[in-house]
A and B are shown apart, each in its own frame.
Chain A
Amino acid sequence: MARIKLKNILSKKKEAFVLIENLLNAVDPSIRVEDNEGKYLLGSIEKSEEFWYPIEFEDEVLGRVIGGEKADDVAKLLTHLANKEDEKKTLGSEVLSLYREINLIYNFSEKLAAALDINNVAEMALEEAHQLIQATGGSVLLINDKDQTLETIASFGQTMQSQTNMKVGEGIIGNIAASGNAEIINDITADERYTKANNSVSSLICAPLKVKQKVLGIMALVNETTVVYTAGELKLLVTLALQTASAIESAMLHKKTVQEAKQREREKARIALLEAENKRKTEELEEARKLQLSMLPKVIPKLTNIEIAVHMKTATEVGGDYYDFHAGEDGALTAVIGDATGHGLKAGTMVTAAKSLFSALGQNPDIDAIFGQMNESIKAMKLQLLAMCVTMLKIKDGKMRLSSAGIPPVLVYRSSSQKLEEIDVHGLPLGAMKGSYYHEEEVNLEPGDTVLLMSDGFPELMNDEEEMLDYARAYKAFKEAAAKSPKEIISHLVETAKDWANGRPQDDDITFVVLKVKETL
């Protein structure tokens, strides 16, 4: 269909119609104007056989003017009007094209403002660019800051890239990314940066995605066949690219913000979980401590012949120490000190079992028999590797019988010689092995003699330089105070422990039971 139609120029609604009609009437009323199909448009209704003159536009005949000499001038006038109409339409197209661009950029800006996903932004940008610029393919690529490669985040049709990601500075696209300058290359094969990878396309128009002089990537449109991209199209692409870059940067920031917020939430949840776990453990430890301490005798026996003092300081995670007494009606005193294996509630369970057994069996005069029965009973409980280290002694009529099962030796300070005696009776911890054998030792006790029972928490106490107190120092500390009262001895031993630890928390319970034979039995 012809771009210019004669019937539109000579439409009755147009001013031109009236003017030309009046002109024809004045010049030659017999002149007739027809379109290129012979259809009547203007002038004489009668069709004559006179000569006709073409109304031409470019290489096309729009219509003809039929008549005498004057018809030629009329034809030339109408040809001139056709050209003017064409100019008007061309100008109109230019303006409409600009209107289109303005509205596109406006609409694109609105869409970008709402977009938070990088790929989505890139796809929208390509779509908008493709609406205005001829292309058979296009892509948006972002620079990977770590290795400086260009990664495609959106594309359509043909692309410029080879199979593997190209680097900034390599090839045509890489070079444009490095320079940060928009370019038109109407014939790619003639460009010195051309590589065989680009052989599917002929023309390229490309703009960098820049934010404050930093190049984030590039936006490129390509055409399979050679086209001549204009400076106006490049300006348009640069405008779209700038908006796209800004939106991509916002999207990246949003993504980072969301990730950081999620990370903070995860951290908060982790800390909350840890705090809950800590609270649970602290409560559990407290329960274990309460249980262990509840097993201890509320009242220390007050005897006419023996003075008794005790001390227990539990570790943060209670270590299962235990002591107990039984004063028989026959005047015999039974004392026991114990140290369950393990810590916390496990150790507390063992202490509970030991106390029950001691309550039931403690009056039996034979310590080895008591140990034998306690061993079998604890073993039968199947408390999973839990055992009880214990020393039990019985004092009556100036004699002390004792047996030990896996606990530090009993120390006796002899008042007469001022010397220390170590009574080391070997035996496996109660509950460790079925059928274990236990034996007793018997020693005499004179007035003024002092017996020390202790758990291994004292000799194995660590200081702030991770050195152990050890048994030699423990014995020395006892000897230094052994002539004093049981309470004073305990005070001295506690002071020794405190000085040694020098602020380092103890790893295990520390327990002392001191028995001093009074001057007269």
Chain B
Amino acid sequence: MEQKILIVDDEAHIRGLIEQTLEDLEDEGVELLTASNGEEALDTIQEEKPNLVFLDVMMPKLSGFDVCNSVKNHLGLKDIYIILLTAKGQEYDKQKGYEVGADLYMTKPFDPDEILDKAKDILGMD
């Protein structure tokens, strides 16, 4: 079955940078999906059931915390690996992220190599 990665960020350039970081995975059959807000993210997650989600926290209307909470605790989609990717650096925010069920908390500016390595690891690729 085709594996999918969803990239959620309200800033187009961040979506673009993460896509560019992961674009080589497309040659190995991975589909890269994007969403620009929390509501769109929830819809896409329910429809596409991605294996991995890179989820920004600071988004209008529905934050990344809310999306994560819904996915993990209300929609029963616990198997979807969620990485919160955010500029918020307080220990409190990290704690909150794990409380709502995030699998990993990464800060911006992200390390492209770390993003790619993590994606390959989650998808079970070399």
Contacts and interface: CB of A to CB of B under 8 A. Distances in A.
B20 A13 contact: no
Contact of A103 (B16, B17, B33, B111): B111
Do most interface residues of chain A lie in helix, strand or loop, or is the interface mixed? helix
Contacts of A92: 16-17, 20
A270 interface: no
Interface in B93-117: 109-114
Contact of B27 (A1, A93, A95, A99): A1
Contacts of A100: 111-113
Interface string A224-238: 000000000000000
B34 interface: yes
A88 B27 contact: no
Nearest to A14: B34
A99 B85 CA distance: 14
Nearest to A93: B20
A99 B16 contact: no
27 contacts: A1-B27, A13-B33, A13-B34, A88-B16, A89-B20, A92-B17, A92-B20, A93-B20, A95-B13, A95-B17, A96-B17, A96-B21, A96-B112, A98-B109, A99-B17, A99-B109, A99-B110, A99-B111, A99-B112, A100-B112, A100-B113, A102-B109, A103-B110, A103-B111, A103-B113, A103-B114, A107-B111
Nearest to A100: B112
B103 to A, nearest CB: 20
Do most interface residues of chain B lie in helix, strand or loop, or is the interface mixed? helix
Contacts of B20: 89, 92-93, 96
Nearest to B23: A8
A99 B112 CA distance: 7
Given A95-B17, A96-B20, A103 B34 contact: no
Interface string A85-119: 00011001101101110111001000000000000
Contacts of B34: 13
From B33, B34, B109, name the one whose CB has the most chain A CB atoms within 10 angstroms. Answer: B109
Interface string B29-59: 0000110000000000000000000000000
Top 7 closest A-B pairs, CB basis? A103-B111, A92-B20, A99-B109, A96-B112, A92-B17, A100-B112, A102-B109
A100 to B, nearest CB: 6
Contacts of A93: 20
A13 B7 CA distance: 13
A358 B13 CA distance: 114
A33 to B, nearest CB: 20
A10 to B, nearest CB: 15
A103 B17 CA distance: 15
Contacts of B113: 100, 103
Contacts of B13: 95
Contacts of A104: 111
Given A13-B34, A102-B109, 8 more contacts: A95-B13, A96-B20, A96-B112, A99-B109, A100-B112, A103-B111, A103-B113, A104-B111
Contacts of B111: 99-100, 103-104, 107
Contact of B109 (A1, A88, A103): A103
Nearest to A92: B20
A104 B16 CA distance: 22
Contacts of B112: 96, 99-100
B56 to A, nearest CB: 15
Contacts of B109: 98-99, 102-103
Nearest to A103: B111
Nearest to A95: B17
A506 B32 CA distance: 101
Contacts of B16: 88, 92
A93 B20 CA distance: 8
Nearest to A1: B27
Nearest to B20: A92
Contacts of B114: 103
Interface string A1-36: 100000000000100000000000000000000000
Contacts of B17: 92, 95-96, 99
A102 B27 CA distance: 28
A104 B17 CA distance: 18
Interface string B1-20: 00000000000010011001
A95 B109 CA distance: 10
A103 B115 CA distance: 12
From A93, A100, A104, A107, name the one whose CB has the most chain B CB atoms within 10 angstroms. Answer: A100
A96 B34 CA distance: 19
Nearest to B32: A13
Interface string A76-91: 0000000000001100
Interface in A192-229: none
